[in-house]
Chain A
Amino acid sequence: MIANHLPTIVSDPRSGRVNEPRPDVLRLEHLSVYYDTPRGPVHAVEDVTFSLHAQERFGLVGESGSGKSSMALTIMRLIKPPARVVAGTIWLETTNLLTLSETQMKHLRLAEIALVAQGSMNSLNPVMRIRNQMALGLTDHGIKLTKSEMDEKVTSLLAQVGLPPQVASMYPHELSGGMKQRVVIAIAISLSPKVIIADEPTSALDVVVQRQIMETFKNVQAEIGASVILVGHDMGLMAQFVQRLGVMYAGRLLEISPVREIFSQPRHPYTQMLISSLPSTETKGHFTGIPGLPPSLLNVPSGCVFHPRCPLAADRCRAEVPQLREVQPGTWVSCHFAS
């Protein structure tokens, strides 16, 4: 494989930027992940290609069943049978993550890619003090610090997420949901990884706490210079947090666009319908949803995966899978009608 450590060239289509060479920190190419079930394979992720630039905040939005969580777990190589990667590559700078052994991958997790998982505040060990849990990640990666150095490091990490030093000696049950989530973020940044994947990090939190957490997350990400993939279904949250947004549906990426573009001028019919179905505090009583239901991933529709529900569906859509094409610098759409 040709070395990919050079910054992507101006005309490289996958970087999504013209005239601004930005190195890609993470690049997924034609990734497909299936779940094996007695009734056949479930196409959780199908032929997904996108790249994550350095220090960028990228959002991956989709409803349940769109494959976004499977994708997040696959990037971390945390999927287990019956799920398996059927095709594709995941490049973390110059390394193909899918070719690494589990031991090599363990070194990368937390150090290079960190995960803030859904409901992660429930994954704090209830019988360990916060300080010890934060130290675990560090010591597991071979960082040897004296007790006072460790305490200093823990205190500084807590300060970065806006928590007072006393939290270090507390147990998880003594903290509120928002504080626990901050601790999880602190653990995720403890080794200054290049990529942080956050899978619905605020789903169980109140809207006020959610705002505080996301703002903290934004600050912290800028401080350590990491890239973030925010996976979720809340378009409002995406609008407030990410710089580029990818829309997933039934395992496929339908559209990738800078965030302002995607809200002002959505190209894909699904994105358009999704945005118009969002309730707001501006107008009352508009109850437009998207008619129909997401397809079964066991029996994926032929051609374009959205055609059964698309108002523009034509014969071509039933027959041919649309490719993800750059219709404008930085905007990628997978639709036969977008141009």
Chain B
Amino acid sequence: MTPLLEARHVTKRFGGGLFDRTSTVALDDFSMAIAGDAPSITAIVGESGSGKTTLARLLLGLTAPSQGSVLYKGKDLRKLSSDESRGFLNDVQVIFQDPFEVYNPFYRVDHVLTTPIDYMHLAKSRAEKWTLIEQALETVGLRPEETLGRYPHQLSGGQRQRVMVARALILKPRIILADEPVSMIDASLRATVLGSLQKIKDEFGISIIYITHDLTTAYQIGDNIIVLYRGGVAEAGSVDLVVRTPNHPYTRLLVGSIPVANPDQPWTPEAAAALPNQKRGRTSCKFADRCPSAMAKCLEQTPPLYQTDPHRAAACFLYEDAPVLNNEAMDNVLRVNGAVVAG
């Protein structure tokens, strides 16, 4: 069954032009697939420099990979016909991070809701258009009479972001890519936006790719999780396994650095790097210079993803006794619904 959206061995390099030898690899040989059948929320977690923003842009077709391809229903994004492009726009929508920048300050918030309907011909009459808009707003918990007709600066960050979710809903996509949707919103308003996302997955069967640096919200909302580090996958699998019993040393460091809202649960002390000043070879584990469990092997070879659990894989030589993850198993590792907790 062709996945709806797939990244196949995608590598993205920046820089390194004719006269510039140095280039950065933002994303290295990354593969993932979103199936079309069962909706799920996949969280992609990474710090700055992990490649998650690049990944978002690649999946949306806003930029092209240096190697590998991004496929929509089996066809490369760069080779879509205009009809297929239209289909892609319909099926894959996005929610951006900054709830203010996404609004054109010249217009009221209605503008972001009416534009897709007008240009993608989603309603046959004005009445139908406004009904669509009102329904979408109510689904995300906003009252149309309090939201429409206002300018963006008159709404809170949470409200603005929910209007964006409503906009995504109007287009009835199959996948919504949410790029750090709550990081610029106050803590107490985040729950409402996250709740809307959860609701639209449950009620409308829309899969969500939730990109964030915040492991806590990823845990709250995600079914599956992919942890990125410097362009490569460190660990992936069911969110319960990865966050509560992390395998990869980097995931452990991430989880241990979350400030818990409980003074009696301090940050777990950061273990020192085992091989701090060693030079990494051309291929190496990207975390080797910070890893407290690094071995000599880690400086010379890139670890593949080892399947350490039926629903989890980690790219670390500590687990080299486990089987290497192949493509079919990758599907399984990430195929976890909210209801099923992997054992």
Contact = CB atoms under 8 A, between A and B. Distances in A.
Do any CB atoms of chain A lie under 8 A from CB atoms of chain B in the complex?
A: yes
Interface of A: 63-64, 177, 206-212, 214-215, 233-240, 259-260, 263, 273-275, 277-281, 284-290, 293-294
A149 to B, nearest CB: 31
Nearest to B256: A211
B192 to A, nearest CB: 5
A278 B259 CA distance: 12
B270 interface: yes
B187 A235 contact: yes
Given A281-B216, A287-B194, A240 B260 contact: yes
Contact of A289 (B192, B198, B217, B243): B192
20 contacts: A207-B214, A207-B215, A207-B258, A211-B270, A215-B267, A234-B187, A236-B259, A236-B260, A237-B259, A239-B259, A239-B261, A263-B261, A274-B188, A279-B216, A281-B243, A284-B220, A289-B190, A289-B195, A290-B188, A290-B189
Given A274-B188, A287-B191, A289-B190, A234 B259 contact: yes
Interface residues of B, number: 41
Nearest to B214: A207
A208 B253 contact: yes
Contacts of B215: 207, 281
B260 A280 contact: yes
B125 to A, nearest CB: 33
B240 to A, nearest CB: 8
B234 to A, nearest CB: 13
B48 A63 contact: no
B292 to A, nearest CB: 13
A95 B321 CA distance: 68
Interface in B162-190: 186-190
B260 A177 contact: no
Contacts, number: 113
Nearest to B223: A284
B121 interface: no
B157 interface: yes
Given A279-B220, A280-B216, A240 B198 contact: no
B44 interface: no
Interface string B132-160: 00000000000000000000000011110
Contacts of A277: 187-188, 191
Given A210-B259, A239-B259, A290-B189, 12 more contacts: A238-B261, A240-B267, A260-B263, A273-B188, A281-B219, A281-B243, A284-B220, A284-B240, A286-B220, A288-B191, A289-B158, A289-B192
B195 A260 contact: no
A259 B263 contact: yes
B255 interface: yes
Interface in B236-250: 240, 243-244
Interface string B40-70: 0000000110000000000000000000000
A279 B157 CA distance: 18
B72 to A, nearest CB: 30
Given A212-B270, A284-B220, A289-B195, A206 B261 contact: no
B310 interface: no
Q: Specify which of A63, A259, A289 lies most central, judged by the most chain B CB atoms within 10 Å of its CB.
A: A289
Contact of B192 (A211, A274, A287): A287
9 tightest Cβ-Cβ pairs between the two chains A and B: A287-B195, A236-B259, A289-B191, A206-B47, A63-B186, A211-B257, A287-B191, A236-B261, A289-B192
Contacts of B213: 206-207
B101 interface: no
B338 to A, nearest CB: 8
Contact of A208 (B47, B260, B266): B47
B254 interface: yes
B262 interface: yes
B306 to A, nearest CB: 24
A275 B267 contact: no
A84 to B, nearest CB: 23
B264 interface: yes
Given A206-B47, A287-B195, A275 B261 contact: yes
Nearest to A289: B191
B190 A279 contact: yes
Nearest to A291: B192
A239 B195 contact: no
B186 A64 contact: yes
Interface string B88-131: 00000000000000000000000000000000000000000000
Given A237-B259, A275-B261, A290-B188, A285 B220 contact: yes
Contacts of B159: 293
B139 to A, nearest CB: 15
Nearest to A206: B47
A281 B261 CA distance: 11
Q: Specify which of B189, B214, B266 lies most central, judged by the most chain A CB atoms within 10 Å of its CB.
A: B189
A42 B175 CA distance: 42
Contact of A233 (B187, B262, B264, B270): B187
Contacts of B220: 279, 284-287
A280 B261 contact: yes
A280 B217 CA distance: 8
